[in-house]
Copies of this chain bind each other. A is one copy, B any other.
Amino acid sequence: MQVVGILGGMGPAAGADFVRLFVQSCIERMQVLGLAVSDQHFPEHWLAQVPVPDRTRALEADAAWAQQPLEPMLQALGRLAALGARCVAMPCNTAHAWHSRLQDRFPQLDVLHIAEEMALNLAAHGVPAAALMATDGTYRSGVYEQALARAGVQCHLPTPAERARIMQGIYDGVKAGNMPLAQRCFGEVAQALAQRHGGAPLILGCTEIPLALDGAPQTAGLRLFNPAQVLAQALAQRAYAA
């Protein structure tokens, strides 16, 4: 087993939930590998939850602003490397706009890419097209559109009004601790996207979205894909592969 790291804090509730998903994925790995499930059969893992300036705001501003989230991410990544981590996951979709700069700075680390992992997973499920719910920053960076295109999966995008409603659910909802508001915002957009695209699966491409939407009545009958879950499975696979 190898030591793995989680670069969180973006937001902290999503980071906490990602550890839960990772622990669950480790249990699944143990079962696949025929290991007894016990505390001692988990790989060593470290979660860094550090304050990082807002990612979407940085992507919408000028180049100087766009550096701001990078510095604390690089610092935390360096400390995860010093702790012995060989592979790191970031439970924040928007942060992947800086993925290549993080990976370039730490070539000794395997920095997983949430959109690449999600795209491979959709292609493996034979999904021809999916609709993306994400932050304005993630749409602007194009990380999902590029990853899905490489995997041969078509990407449907919400209207500007729907994007605004998603942002409201993320910032005034989950990040501000108001879950009922978040559930209403996300539920509305999810229903509209599914209707418009013939029941296409939805990518919950911001780690805050599943925190409010999981198990919500508005999602009955929808096909939801949670990239954080796919990323947690990928991290567990790397941890047990060594």
Q: A19-B16, A42-B9 are in contact. Are A37 and B83 (CB under 8 A)?
A: no
A112 CB within 8 Å of chain B: no
Interface residues of A in 30-59 (CB under 8 A from B): 31, 36-42, 44-54
- The 8 Å CB contact of A16, one of B23, B40, B44, is B23
Chain A interface, number of residues (Cβ within 8 angstroms): 38
User: Please, how many angstroms separate the alpha-carbon atoms of A36 and B177 in the complex?
Assistant: 10
A51→B44 contact, CB < 8 A? yes
B50 touches A47 (CB 8 A): no
CB <8 Å contact, A177 and B16: no
Judge whether B39 and A54 touch: CB under 8 Å: yes
**Choice from B19, B40, B177 contacting A51 with Cβ under 8 Å:** B40
- With most chain B CB atoms within 10 A of its CB, the pick from A10, A51, A54 is A51
Set of chain B residues within 8 Å of A50, measured between Cβ atoms = 44
Determine whether the beta carbon of B23 is less than 8 Å from that of A51.
no
Asked if B44 and A47 sit within 8 Å, CB to CB, the answer is no
Q: A23-B16, A83-B79, A177-B27 are in contact. Are A10 and B37 (CB under 8 A)?
A: no
A12 to B45, CA, bound (A): 9
**Interchain CB contact under 8 A, A20 and B13:** yes
CB within 8 Å of B: which residues of A?
9-13, 15-17, 19-20, 22-23, 26-27, 31, 36-42, 44-54, 79, 83, 175-177
Between-chain CB contacts (< 8 Å), 29 pairs: A9-B44, A12-B23, A12-B39, A12-B45, A13-B20, A13-B23, A16-B16, A16-B19, A16-B20, A17-B20, A19-B47, A19-B49, A20-B20, A27-B177, A31-B177, A36-B176, A37-B175, A37-B176, A38-B176, A39-B52, A39-B175, A40-B51, A40-B54, A42-B49, A42-B51, A44-B50, A46-B46, A46-B49, A47-B49
